[in-house]
Each structure stands twice: as C-alpha cells, then as structure tokens.
Amino acid sequence: MDVKNVHFPELEEGNKGAGLGDKALGEIPIEVTVELGRSKLSLREILDLKEGSIIELDRLAGEPLDLKVGGQLIAQGEVVAIDDYYGLRITNVIIK
C-alpha cells in the first residue's frame, strides 16, 4: 500500500466565506424544559403508583423553577398562569 502525506494550501486571513449569522440559526426549533423538581423512587414505588398518589419532590414550594435547554440550565423563574396555560416568568438568567 502506497501512503502519501496530503498538503493543504495555507488559508489567508481575508479569504473567508460567508458566515451563518444569527438569522440562520434563529429559526431552528429547540425543546425547552421547565423542571418543577426531582425525586428518586424504587421500581416497586413506581409500580405502586396510582391515581391520587403523591410524589415528594426535592424542591420547596415557592423556590424558583429551572429552565433547561438540551438538559443545560439556562435560567430560573416562577410559575404564572396565562389564560388556561402555565407559563414561566424568568427571574434569573444563568450565564456560564
């Protein structure tokens, strides 16, 4: 087998192609999740769940809820009612 090294030409600073920009990426739909809280249950506890069962969460009433994009925490907020729907009022943006 004959193996040869490949040599690529050096790119000059001024020879850049068109960029994507905010407009191209701004229309891509991304799933956003609001997390009320978490709990760990055994498989037996899950199998015993029925209507009326209560699961205790790790968050206190009145604590801010987490807003996640792709599983990454990006903000926190509080629950609001908008007509017949729930919403989230952002109170803290998490910048990392």
Looking up residue 79, the CATH number of its domain turns out to be 2.30.330.10
User: 55 lies in a domain?
Assistant: yes
Domain count, the chain: 1
pLDDT above 90 (res 47) = yes
Tens digit of each residue's pLDDT (9 = 90 or more) over 9-32 = 876 776 666 676 767 778 888 899
- Is the predicted pLDDT of residue 52 greater than 70, yes or no? yes
Residue 45 has pLDDT above 90, yes or no: yes
Q: Is the pLDDT of residue 86 over 70?
A: yes
Residue 9 lies in a domain: no
**Is residue 71 a part of any domain in this protein?**
yes
Residue 8, pLDDT > 80, answer no
Q: Does 17 reside within a domain?
A: no
The answer to whether residue 47 is domain-embedded is yes
For residue 85, is it within any domain?
Answer: yes
Asked if the structure places residue 48 within a domain, the reply is yes
pLDDT at 76: 96
Res. 75 pLDDT band, cuts 50 70 90: very high
Instruction: Enumerate residues 6+ apart whose C-beta is below 8 A from 65.
Output: 34, 35, 36, 59, 76, 77, 78, 79, 88
Q: Residue 67 belongs to what domain range?
A: 30-93
